[in-house]
Structure 1
């Protein structure tokens, strides 16, 4: 479970109360400062993290006033000394390492492997040193915290090596940055309940505009995106991961459907396929209901013959999807079966998702609405 600390060291005095209130309300794990008098004012619901100034001696009362004490170190000898000192209170001690060269990078790696808490700051903008520290600390019992300059960098840090650091440290400009940090920590997508749908009819419609969604990720063979003509029901469209006789596989692409269709994204938000663009996100969904956020690299809208699939859920909800009328367009069925849309017939079973909410500009709302 990822966590975050708010850094008060550079926050102006007049902004500090609002930022602390936001951190408490957002349930961030801790607040970091270099002043014990500030930490003493914090409520017991947040961890008080002390990072003394390098030129200041550690106050004698630090262990009583702070929940975690970080010691700035830069050498292996300093790490050895800190390790010996922390034998009795490992959970409450840790190190701060500023990585500026290969030597301090090695110290950061060693600290992350041996200490309970290791805060790292990187001088250079490249994330290669962070990748090295994350790899070095993999499966170690301690926690690695990375200092971020802003929310944009924090968003990059959480994805480094597909796992990121355990924690983030950010000096917020205002309370909005605190809540933005909270949203970053909530990026893991929950599993989604999929439904079995029974095909009712296939209708050949003639020319229309369809959208291919090209993403920045490889899809799995049992993975696709959920698309539908109605906001209350979606069909799981598979990527071009599976071989085709006349063209190479494109495991980053989903031939998703007509431009008016809804595509399900993160946070139970939908977009029209026509709204997607480079940098948008969609929800990748497996046949087991596991989900992940996927970044869109581009979309292709072209005129093609279309067909409409109409299907019914076990609870009687009608689902509709308009897709390109071609054999190589596929959807997924139970057991990860890959089904060519032009070969579907009444009685065939598909996988999809039934949503109870109606939609307004993509957000779920509890209002009266009929789609047909």
Structure 2
């Protein structure tokens, strides 16, 4: 789970109290401050962070487990020091002079199997978003000096986006109905999907089926590990922060949610959404609690959905009784936002 520390040292005095309150409310991991009175007033849910600047490798063994080592990286020797600190210390804070993320990539690679945590100093929220994803692993945490409380809440939303796993459920197929032509959407993303990953799509806002990416071999054509043949254009697709979009709304630059068979999630960027007319079929499935889930997809063997254990099912070969992976949502939707109102979908 990614985390953040809030640096209070440059926060204007007039905004300090509101920023501290925001950090407490959003359960930020820690607060860095030179004012002892502020640190002692923190509740036990927020760590009072202390750091020691490291300029030589021999200092690493002298730091206690309750102190984070701080390394300023501005040349090759300091980069080597940051790598050594990340491998040795329980927690290392690194500030990079280089605006590129190449030095961070080097430190992440050096500390790939280390037990300690790496915290990267970020100038703003945009940089924090990038830092958390570098080399797919990203920094364990970020240190941000916010200008106001709103930035603390925005940082909290950034940490939450796509990071929480989803409780997937087993759905049992009730039936398959074949239709004529309709418009379906292929979602081409800017990432490679794993073999057990896909996106959650459904005709109803309360139920989704895990649609498989094209990472598995196909006859007559190469695999396209960036693509999900997702479903008819009216379908909902689950995205970050419990938001949904219609498949018809996705376009280059949109964000949706990759989900694997264990429920782990990550946000992915859409490169394009490809809409074409194809024969369609509708899968109807039901949860153990009796919740009905519906998904309309292209009527073609190479379109696939995932079952328990990441078992791959070709949609044209599904039969009543087959088990699929899905996600049940309790909320209805209004312009993609969850809302607690009465709504019936058939």
Correspondences of 1:343-354 after superposition (within 5 Å): 343-354=317-328
Relative to the length of structure 2, the TM-score reads 0.89
Cα distance in 2 for partners of 1:252, 1:84 equals: 45
Secondary structure, aligned partner of 1:303: strand
- The C-alpha deviation readout for 1:10-53, integer Å capped at 9, x for no partner, is 322222222122222222233224x4xx232341324444xxxx
Partner of 2:216: 242
Q: Is the 8 A contact 1:158 1:165 kept in 2?
A: yes
1:111-168 deviation line (CA, Å, top 9, x unaligned): 2233343221111111111111122233434432210010110111111222222321
Which residue is 1:70 aligned to?
Answer: 52
Tell me the CA shift for residue 84 of structure 1. 5.8
Judged with a 3 Å threshold, the aligned counterparts in structure 2 of structure 1 residues 44 and 350 are, in CA distance, closer, same or farther, namely closer
Superposition pairs for residues 138-287 of structure 1, below 5 Å? Answer: 138-187=112-161, 188-204=163-179, 206-287=180-261
Contact 2:69 2:93 in 1 (8 A): yes
Would you say the 8 A contact 2:176–2:283 is kept in 1? yes
Instruction: Between 315-324 and 40-49, report the one with greater CA deviation.
Output: 40-49
Distance 1:101 1:324, change over 3 A: same
Matched-pair contact (CA < 8 Å) for 1:197–1:352: no
1:370 to partner: Cα distance: 1.0
For structure 1, the residue ranges without an aligned partner over 5 or more in a row are 50-67
Other structure's SS at 1:209 match: strand
2:38 to 19, 41, 45: 41
Describe the shift of the 1:2–1:357 C-alpha distance in structure 2 as closer, same or farther (beyond 3 A): closer
Structure 2 residue ranges without an equivalent (≥5): none
CA RMSD, aligned part only?
Answer: 2.3
Q: Call closer, same or farther: CA 1:29–1:302 in 2, change over 3 Å.
A: same
Q: TM-score, normalised by structure 1?
A: 0.83
Q: What CA distance in whole angstroms lies between the structure 1 residues aligned with 2:98 and 2:16?
A: 28
- State the shift of 1:211 in Å: 0.5
8 Å CA contact retained: 2:119, 2:140: yes
Check whether the contact 1:194–1:289 (CA below 8 A) recurs between aligned residues: no
Q: Deviation at 1:241?
A: 1.5
1:339 aligned onto 2:323: no
**Structure index of larger Rg:** 1
- Quick check: 345-354 or 228-237, which moved more? 345-354
Offset of 1:309 from its aligned partner? 2.5
Match of 1:121 in 2: 95
- Per the alignment, residue 95 of structure 1 pairs with 69
1:357 positional shift: 2.4
